[in-house]
Structure 1
């Protein structure tokens, strides 16, 4: 397998557990590339490791498929890759990303000019050159409604010209045992010579989604053309798979986090500001039985925990924020936090009036200083989910890429800790195993996690795809245990 736009390797990690082996990954961000190489090529000789850890711009001439394969030690570029996975960067597709681009460029359709909107083209070039047996592409749901255009159908047109049978759908990670409600687009293609059509795995967990998720889904699906008899235009979209006959209950935030040790240094005055590095290991929470989910992440094949967590670090914030985190109830968002802040501010003014005879006059420097101690400066009428205190008995809301700058969207449910989530807690919510290593300091690690595909979701996809390929090949693939290496190429089918 090769991994395009690999990031930290969340998408490949699930396929790795299902039996895939990494030929290499292409990633533009240097720290993410180092994370990928550390976890999947960490035992390579130093010179080979350096090649895998190198950050690469997939659009650059020197990173054409044959050239990269040769650097990875595979001169016959078309015979060494069975499966390609990857998710082209999505800022131009996502509605939040489009709004930011319009703001930056002051143009209503700036997202159409963003070169990142065309990064699926080098993905297709790799497919055309390497001719894998199958591929999986991931993106945000809004790739289906990109300025009123369903880009997925265009990609499928090209893949079918290359000889692939294609299908795409929307999957939510929470339906596959991830403690996070994360909806994403997935496209699967299998070469027609294999003789089977791509399908997607059944969901394993029942989840009660908030109303907003269905609304967002319908916006994304607005330009899906339903299949119908005698219809000249056909869609490769397939409905989201149903659940297994006896689905399990959703994995909750508390299931994911309860065995991790509390963090309270910020409340005790012993927290030091500055870059958070991963050089101090801490043990698991004493006396707390880990959930089934937590035990799975502790014992993930090839990435089992050492018993020490070196990235259980969190952002240092203001006493004003900690005060509000403690008072917020589970499920509260920023408008509610703002109400609490205003109440505390006016209570403080009343206290000063009683002690000093009168409070500072509104608009004075003294009044402004007191207000700043209690009320955050963000507009409470915009982006209500900028702050959100997680509910312990439900999956978390979507972890975003901007975790690297701001983790207020995921405030810990435990009021006694009054803080935002740590790096390891973000990794747990994304279903990264505890033995997976993130390179860099706190902010880059948060970004790598927020940009990733949840590995448990990709594990479900990997098991399903490898099962399909085994069923489509007379010499059935050995799918008996994690880590199995499959010697399979398109030549087997030709």
Structure 2
């Protein structure tokens, strides 16, 4: 059967794209991303893993809000030169699928709590309109719109964002499932060693297909669940075979705020970030508490420990040790600032997780390389769609398409 052609919007470093390509059922036509380290990482992956020689052209470093140039091409001081989406879509003879999801900060419950205006003024609330316009221009058979569950309760201007999205797609002839609650999935059910709830919103072209609600109902109730794993993967199973990283203190590295551990691993990106003695002692104490089975450090006691160590109070407890025999908690982009909520379970190592450990917990293969700084790598991993979740969604989508075609 012929492969389905797709473009990826808000592509990030390519977690969603990588999962689709792993199925061998899709052809990558183009991708759009505006953050340079993510663009460089995706180009590197497409060239070196998937053999796409002109990846530097197909991965478009550009702002999706500038639609006319996005479609027709640009010559820009910030973004360089680009042929535009029209060029690659026309060259491919049209596309079958659009994948991607706008940045989720404005939809997340945590984001709305932190922002004094509840994220009402955040431009990211409306980036879905540009996604919608790309869908309308190229008329794929289906689309996959990935986002956070907070989208179910977001209402930046008083109108539920789900109503705006549903109406927007309906206006251009696409249907999404009536009850969006069933579009919520947990990545840990699909081979990802992490509890990570996400919305997988699939839309179908109503001008091309009939009985779209029935098709979508079967997708969510039968097809997608058939790709679940029978057993969840734990943190220990995901990262326990990686070489130990035992940071130690010396004045030279401390002054430079550089991590120092022995031995260095042959696995890429498996090097601990810099920790001071205070943090290392805190990590050791909390990991040992779980390791020993005492489990004395509840939220209250962790807050007291923070106040004792740092000298100030915090309304939230800022430390968390990953449970070795459970899936990880949700890997977040905040990791690029600190890893205090992602402490390694081995008390001897007294550190937060490395980039490679974070990548494994997001189900990235060890040959997936990240281009940029350590902070860039943590951030793009935290913002990514886990490739294994993406792979299962892609398999389910191709099965649905095979049926309705």
How far apart, CA to CA, are the structure 1 residues paired with 2:367 and 2:298? 33
CA distance 1:431–1:200, shift in 2 (3 Å) = farther
RMSD between superposed Cα atoms in Å: 3.0
- Structure 2 counterpart SS, 1:159: helix
Any idea what SS the aligned residue of 1:23 has?
strand
1:3 corresponds to which of 4, 8, 11: 8
**C-alpha contact 1:387 1:408 (8 A) present in aligned 2:** yes
**By how many angstroms is 1:198 displaced?**
2.3
**How do 1:217-256 residues align onto structure 2 when only pairs under 5 Å count?**
248-256=230-238
Q: Where in structure 1 are there 5+ consecutive unaligned residues?
A: 103-107, 202-237, 284-308, 343-373, 474-494
Q: Where in structure 2 are the equivalents of 1:3-402 lying within 5 Å?
A: 3-18=8-23, 19-42=25-48, 43-45=51-53, 48-67=54-73, 70-71=83-84, 73-74=87-88, 76=90, 79-102=93-116, 108-109=117-118, 111-147=119-155, 149-167=159-177, 168=180, 169-192=183-206, 193-195=208-210, 197-199=215-217, 248-266=230-248, 273=256, 282-283=265-266, 309-328=267-286, 329-330=289-290, 332=297, 335-340=300-305, 375-380=309-314, 382-384=315-317, 386-402=318-334
Q: Deviations over 1:155-193 (max 9, x none)?
A: 222223323232241111111121111111121012232
Deviations 1:95-140 (A, max 9, x none): 22123331xxxxx44x111111100000000000011111000111
* 8 Å Cα contact 1:87-1:138 kept in structure 2: yes
Deviations 1:403-449 (A, max 9, x none): 11111111000111010000000000011111111110110000000
TM-score by length of 1: 0.68
Structure-2 separation of matches of 1:240 and 1:101: 39
- Paired with 1:403 and 1:396, the residues of 2 have a C-alpha distance of 14
The 3 A distance-change label for structure 1 pair 318 and 101 is: same
Alignment of structure 1 residues 404-423 onto 2, 5 Å? 404-423=336-355
Pair 1:44–1:460, CA change in 2 (3 A): closer
Distance 1:199 1:442, change over 3 A: farther
Point out where structure 2 has 5 or more consecutive residues left out of the alignment: 1-5, 75-81
- Contact 2:258–2:274 (CA<8 Å) still a contact in 1? no
Q: Secondary structure at the match of 1:450?
A: helix
Indicate the residue corresponding to 1:305 in structure 2. none
Counterparts of 1:333 and 1:85, CA distance in 2: 41
Q: In 1, are the aligned partners of 2:247 and 2:272 still within 8 Å (CA)?
A: no
Shift of 1:34: 0.9
Q: Secondary structure of 1:84's match?
A: strand
Shift of 1:340: 4.6
**Equivalent residues, number:** 368
**Offset of 1:458 from its aligned partner?**
1.1
CA 242–66 in structure 1, closer or farther in 2 if over 3 Å, else same: closer
- Give me the whole-angstrom Cα distance separating, in 2, the residues matched to 1:463 and 1:125: 26
Q: Is the 8 A contact 1:333 1:387 kept in 2?
A: no
Task: Say if 1:123 and 1:77 are closer, same or farther in 2 by CA, change over 3 A.
Answer: farther
Tell me: CA distance 1:334–1:113, structure 2 relative to 1, closer, same or farther (3 Å).
same
Change (3 A) 1:454 1:70: same
Partner of 2:79: none
1: CA distance between counterparts of 2:246 and 2:252?
A: 9
Q: 1:310 to 1:274 in 2, by over 3 A?
A: farther
User: Which has the larger displacement, 396-405 or 143-152?
Assistant: 143-152
2: CA distance between counterparts of 1:254 and 1:274?
Answer: 29
Separation in structure 1 between the aligned mates of residue 63 and residue 245 of structure 2, nearest angstrom? 38
